[in-house]
């Protein structure tokens, strides 16, 4: 399997465990949308990422591709997604987060056969929660040792 990554830095962080992996490649965002069979959104919601996936990006995707969002709902322009899904631009979308949670009862997103909704529960698996506990313990241990972990500047 080939894994494509888009990053604002245009590269993985130095020393990242997949930095030189032969199956992992950092590409421009448009190339990622054009080439991927599955596009998974994994970024924070902020002024730069709000509606950063819209009709233009979805129309770049293969008609057999799936768009998956487990990050934040407003990263995808939901009105544009609904239009594209009604036109069968891509094969499907899996949304663990929506722009408004839950979507209004009148939202067309409920009636689309090619959109799969979950109630923002991706984090609820035991493995995910255990990883969170482990990361918290690692962060505390690193702090006690005077090391910096997960620093946001």
Specify whether 16 is catalytic.
no
Specify whether 108 is catalytic.
no
Closest CA to 103 of 122, 84, 88, 119: 119
Catalytic residue among 57, 72, 78, 99: 72
Catalytic residue among 101, 124, 125, 131: 101
Strand 38-41: give its sheet, edge to edge: 38-41, 66-69, 92-95, 115-117
Catalytic residue among 34, 51, 83, 120: 120
Q: How far apart are CA 63 and CA 83, in angstroms?
A: 14
Q: How far apart are CA 58 and CA 43, in angstroms?
A: 17
Specify whether 101 is catalytic.
yes
Cα angle vertex 74, ends 124, 129, to 5°?
A: 15
Which residues participate in catalysis according to the annotation? 72, 101, 120
């Amino acid at each position: 399997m080939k894994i494509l990554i888009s990053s604002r830095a245009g590269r993985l962080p130095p020393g990242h465990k997949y930095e030189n992996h032969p199956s992992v490649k950092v590409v421009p965002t448009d190339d990622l949308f054009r080439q991927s069979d599955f596009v998974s959104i994994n970024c924070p919601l902020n002024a730069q990422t709000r509606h950063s996936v819209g009709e233009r990006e979805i129309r770049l995707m293969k008609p057999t591709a799936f768009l998956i969002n487990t990050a934040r709902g407003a990263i995808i322009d939901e009105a544009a997604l609904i239009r594209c899904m009604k036109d069968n631009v891509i094969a499907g979308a899996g949304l663990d987060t929506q722009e408004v949670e839950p979507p209004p009862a009148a939202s067309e997103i409920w009636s689309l056969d090619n959109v799969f909704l979950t109630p923002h529960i991706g984090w609820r698996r035991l493995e995910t929660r255990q990883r969170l506990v482990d990361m918290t313990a690692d962060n505390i241990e690193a702090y006690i040792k005077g090391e910096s972990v997960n620093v946001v500047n």
